[in-house]
Chain A
């Protein structure tokens, strides 16, 4: 069984400040890890993903995440927040084989303060 824990359902940062959204996962097999972003009344857009190889993954809009197996973490960061980053962010895990069902966390709503 897989699960994802997102620490902090709401995070507020000032414009220009560091964004850090935390995600810990549990998986009995090597995981594939994802971050998705959702804007109000829209579907989910993939920000970045880790499958194999390099543990530091760069995504769109200046976001990146680092897979740390020893800490079972996949935290999302961005050096400088922009107003347009305000959205809800979901961390997700799927198994590397099988049918690739994705299990999502409950989401973290990011507020950017001008």
Chain B
């Protein structure tokens, strides 16, 4: 078990370009979450998956954002036509929701992908 991994760790892009981030959760974790963290703020929920199904999307997730988890394992988050306001740290977390009680409520976070839009 190597923990949650995210790639790339850093991404610098020009406004208007598309970017894609990848998250590999802890193996056998059936739920995967995406958060966005801007400077000086706590992480804010974007969306989450139960296996391959996307079950909720935050209003923060505009039409330019899309997330997938095609085989219920890794997930991708794509931002189209990036804007400077998209600059943030994008965090991924996973849990094994089949565990009861507190064990099923601990989200394990990856190191994040820091996006800078110029």
Residues of chain A touching chain B, judged by Cβ–Cβ distance below 8 Å, are 4, 9, 32, 34, 36, 41-46, 49, 51-52, 90, 92, 94, 96, 99-107
Contacts and interface: CB of A to CB of B under 8 A. Distances in A.
A94 B107 CA distance: 11
A107 B105 contact: no
Interface string B38-49: 001111110010
Contacts of A94: 105
Interface residues of B, number: 30
5 tightest Cβ-Cβ pairs between the two chains A and B: A104-B42, A51-B102, A43-B109, A44-B109, A43-B111
B85 interface: no
A106 B41 contact: yes
Contacts of B93: 44, 102
Contact of B44 (A9, A51, A96, A104): A104
Contacts of B111: 42-43
A99 B56 contact: yes
A62 B102 CA distance: 20
B112 A42 contact: yes
A105 B42 contact: yes
Interface string B70-110: 00000000000000000000010101010001101111111
A34 B42 CA distance: 13
Contacts of A101: 33, 45, 48, 56
Contacts of B105: 32, 49, 51, 94, 96, 100
A17 to B, nearest CB: 25
A69 B47 CA distance: 29
Nearest to B108: A46
A4 B48 CA distance: 20
A90 B95 CA distance: 19
Nearest to A6: B42
A107 B48 contact: no
A43 B110 contact: yes
A42 B40 CA distance: 14
